[in-house]
Each structure stands twice: as structure tokens, then as C-alpha cells.
Amino acid sequence: MDTCDTLDATRTMRSRHRARARLAPVLLEALARDGTVEAVAHAMAGSLPAAIGARRVAVGVSCGPGEPIRVRALSGQATLDGRRRAVRRLSACLETMAVPATTLSTEDAGIRVWPDRDGGDGVDGGVDGGVDGGVDGVDGAPSAYAHGCGATSLACLTLPGAGGGRLVLLFDRGRDGCRFAPGELIALRSVLPEVAGWLTAQSRRHGPWRHRARDAWRDGTVRLSLRTRVLPRALTDALTPRRVALVVAACAVVLVGALPVTRTVTAAVTLEAEHRQVVSAAHAGHLVAVRARVGDRVEKGELLARLDDREVNDELTAQREAMLRVEEELSRALALRDRPSLGRLRAERTRIAADLSAAVRRLERSRILAPFAGTVLAGELDERLGASVRAGETLYELGDDRRVRLMLEIDERDVRLVRRGLQARVRMASLPMQVWSATLQHLEPVAVAEPGRNVFRMAATLSDGQDTLRPGMRGVARIDTGRRALVLVWTRALRERLTVLAWRFGLIG
């Protein structure tokens, strides 16, 4: 072991021996005064620097195999904040320099020194060969910690604890101190094994629930109660915590899957007017005026739009002038008693009257009127002003908003589950906080092809609350189709698709 030239070796060894002799009483006093893991760890962090000649000591505890090492105490620090970068760097250094639990036993402990001066295994000859030496720090953890805290040498002592846990002690010396030698830590192995066992046991006892349950099972308390009350000895000896957890989980899954739940079918909903009528153009012409738009409320006989009627007006004026001329000639013929002219003029008057009536009807048909009071559901004609329309072309669609009905779009996979008379609950997109009740009516026999699926349309009547609804609203309906086991409800779609695939590939007959 190297020592500084200016340090009296004899005085140093004696002071360290006295510090190690005082270590046990200090730990016992901390245990009697507080009895917590933090109190004992802080007492150890405060006493060990003098016993080993280190500037600072960090105490870390791992509860079990594979569990991370948690920093419990650091010399000169009353509390530790795990969010600080220095504490995270210290934790990484402990994880790197600590000896794995698989290489430790109750008889030996692991020692690692950084940096190793002679290039050997970094372990004293009395330590078991399961300890690595010459560690330079995986991912630079020891070097990063040493450079960050101004240490020239680090030493790590790993002691086995209860239940596969570990007590990890990290020593560092300042820039003016000597480098550690593995032999300097051997003396602590005879003082700290009991403390390591107590710290790891207390950490497991107050740690995660899985550690407490595993320890209770290994202690035999749970198995003893099962053996004396329910199960035979051979079965309880074969049970392990993992097997018991798997059995309990399997039973829970079976019980939950067998619970009866309500099977529901979801369908898209569109609100439609029960009385709908299409308004079309009676004859060809040009659109010259638009008075109604989608969503407008109109009364019976109200003007919706108007076609170009100039030709009809000209024709109507000409027919009226012709009628006046014929009436004058007919009056003159009556005065002269011209019988041949009377017959001809009367026939001509009848023809002109018929043409005049036809012109009046064409003039009336050029004005598009509302056939009943309702709401305009379709017909945006503002962009078609001045354009020509064909005879019979649909211009508007009107609906009676006082009587509405629901049209449900049911997927073809769910259509066999619904029938007339079932109840549905409906939420509209525009009124999501309110739920309406509806009763299913007749199902249209022909499917409608939509992108990616086929749907059947089914009518439904609302029970109440129609005053706040308007035609054209959309929403979602949930139809209750009976109660089935939870596992059957959740796997229905998967089972049906697998059945169709198996039939397609000839796996089933």
C-alpha cells in the first residue's frame, strides 16, 4: 500500500484503528436512538472517513438482486435530493463500481479501486476471485464523479445483505490525498457485515410491496397458514410466489371474463325530417332571383326563387292585346248582324283565351313557391344566378322540422343483432351533454355502400325532447342488444373475422 512521504504511517494507522474501534458504538447509538435506515446510514457516513482516511463516504443500499442502488447518506450532507445532477452522478458511480450480487456470498465482500495503480486485479489477495479489478468506469461514471468532486482516488466496498441485497460504500480522497490500496478496506469487512444485513433487511421491509410479499413467503408464514388451513403440505411446498401470483391472476382473468355485461352496438345517426318534399323547376329557363337558402324557415306559398319570365310576359301582353282587338271586332259584327264574322270571331276569341290562360300558368310556374311550411334542407342556388335550369331539375328540398326521425347507419356485421323495438341512447355532436332515448323501427332491406364498409339504414323514433333538435344533425347511438359474458363481447369481432378467414382458406367446412 502506497503512503504519502509527508504522512507519519504509524500515527495514521493508530488513528484509523481508534476510529474503527469507535465505529461499532456509534452505529449502536444511532440504532438505539432512531432505529431507521437513514439514521444508521448517516452515522456510518460520518464515522467511516476517519476510519479509512477518506475525505468523504457515500452509503448506498440495494434491496435485492437486480434492484438499483439507492444513495442513503453522504458525508457532510444532511439530506439528499435525487433530482440534483450530483446525486445522479453519484448513483451512476455506485452502480458501476459495485460488485454484482451474483458474485457475492455471506463470507466474502468485493473491493474495487479506481484507478488501479499496478494494473492488477485491484483486489486484495484475501478477497475471492469473483471481484473484478482495474475498473476504469463503464460509460465514464467513476471518472466523471471523481473529476466532478475533485477526487484523485475512489474505493468501493460491496457487502452482501439479506435477500440478495447489497450495502455499497464509496470512499474518495481529495487532490492532496494518497491513492487507495485494496488492503485498506479489508479491515472493515469484519465490522460491517451485520450492519449490511440489517440495512438491507430494513430497506426491504419498508420498500416495495413485492419485496415484502416475497420475504413473507420465504419466511414460511404464508405457506404455514395455507398448510394448516386449506392445502396439503406437498402442494404448499411446491408453491412459489411467482406460481401463486400466476394462479391468482389466471383466476381473476377467468372471473372477470365470465361477468355478464351489456352488449351494445354503435351506429352513426342522422336526424331527418319525417315529411320531405323536393321542389323542382316546372319548365326550362334562367334563374334570376334566389330568396331562400339552406336552413331558412319558410311558410306555405312563400317565394323561394324566380326564373326569367320576360318572354312569358311579352307573350301575355300580346295575347291580351289580341283579345282586345277580337272583342272590338266582335262588338262591331254584332252591331252589323254579320253572322259569318260572328262565328269566326267567337272561335278566335276562344283560342286567344286558351293561349292567355296557358301564358298565365307559365308565368306562375316561373315563380318557385314553398308547397308547405318547413325548413329548407338542400338547395344552394346563390352561385347559379343567371344560369339556365332544365325542366324537372331539383332546386330545393324542404322538410317539416316539427316532426323528425332518426336514421341509424348500422354496420353489416351488427345488423343481425338489432331488431324492431329495441331501445337506443343517442348523443348529438351539437348537444353532447344531453342523451335522448329512441325506439328502433323498420330496417331497410338494401345495404348502402360507404367507403370501407357496407351499412344498413334503420329508422328510429325519439321519445321526447324534439324541440331542440333540427334536421341534419348528426350523432352516435348505442343500442342495447342483451347481456353476454365479458370475454364474448370483447372478442366477438375478432372471432367473426377469424371465422371468415378460416372459411376463405378452407380451414373449416
Name the residue with higher pLDDT: 178 or 503.
503
How many Å apart are CA 97 and CA 133, to the nearest integer?
Answer: 10
- Of the pLDDT bands very low, low, confident and very high (cuts 50, 70, 90), residue 132 is very low
Tens of pLDDT along 430-453? 888 888 888 998 888 888 888 888
- Of the pLDDT bands very low, low, confident and very high (cuts 50, 70, 90), residue 123 is very low
User: Taking residues 119-133, what's their average pLDDT?
Assistant: 38
- Of the pLDDT bands very low, low, confident and very high (cuts 50, 70, 90), residue 475 is very high
Compute CA 350 distance to the chain's CA centroid, rounded to the nearest angstrom: 81
Tens of pLDDT along 321-343? 888 888 888 888 787 777 777 77
User: Taking residues 106-127, what's their average pLDDT?
Assistant: 54
205 secondary structure, DSSP code: H
How many Å apart are CA 370 and CA 99, to the nearest integer?
Answer: 91
Look over the chain and give the mean of its residue pLDDT values, rounded to a whole number. 75
Name the residue with higher pLDDT: 114 or 484.
484
How many Å apart are CA 384 and CA 301, to the nearest integer?
Answer: 23
Residue 477 is predicted with a pLDDT of 92
Residue 155 is predicted with a pLDDT of 84
**Residue in 475, 473, 471 with CA at minimum distance from that of residue 276:** 471
Residue 152 is predicted with a pLDDT of 77
The radius of gyration computed from the CA coordinates of the chain, to the nearest angstrom, equals 48
Q: What structural domains and CATH numbers belong to the chain?
A: 9-207 (3.30.450.40), 220-258 (no CATH), 276-398 (2.40.50.100), 403-484 (2.40.30.170)
This prediction has a pTM of 0.44
Tens of pLDDT along 185-225? 777 777 777 777 777 777 777 766 666 666 655 555 544 45
Residue 177 is predicted with a pLDDT of 65
Residue 109 is predicted with a pLDDT of 56
**Residue in 475, 460, 442, 454 with CA at minimum distance from that of residue 411:** 454
Point out the least confidently predicted range of 65-74, 134-143, 210-219, 450-459: 134-143
Share of the chain above pLDDT 90, in %: 4
Tens of pLDDT along 279-310? 777 777 777 777 777 777 777 777 777 777 77
Residue 119 is predicted with a pLDDT of 45
Tens of pLDDT along 397-436? 777 766 777 889 998 888 888 989 899 999 988 888 888 8
**Residue in 109, 132, 137 with CA at minimum distance from that of residue 122:** 132
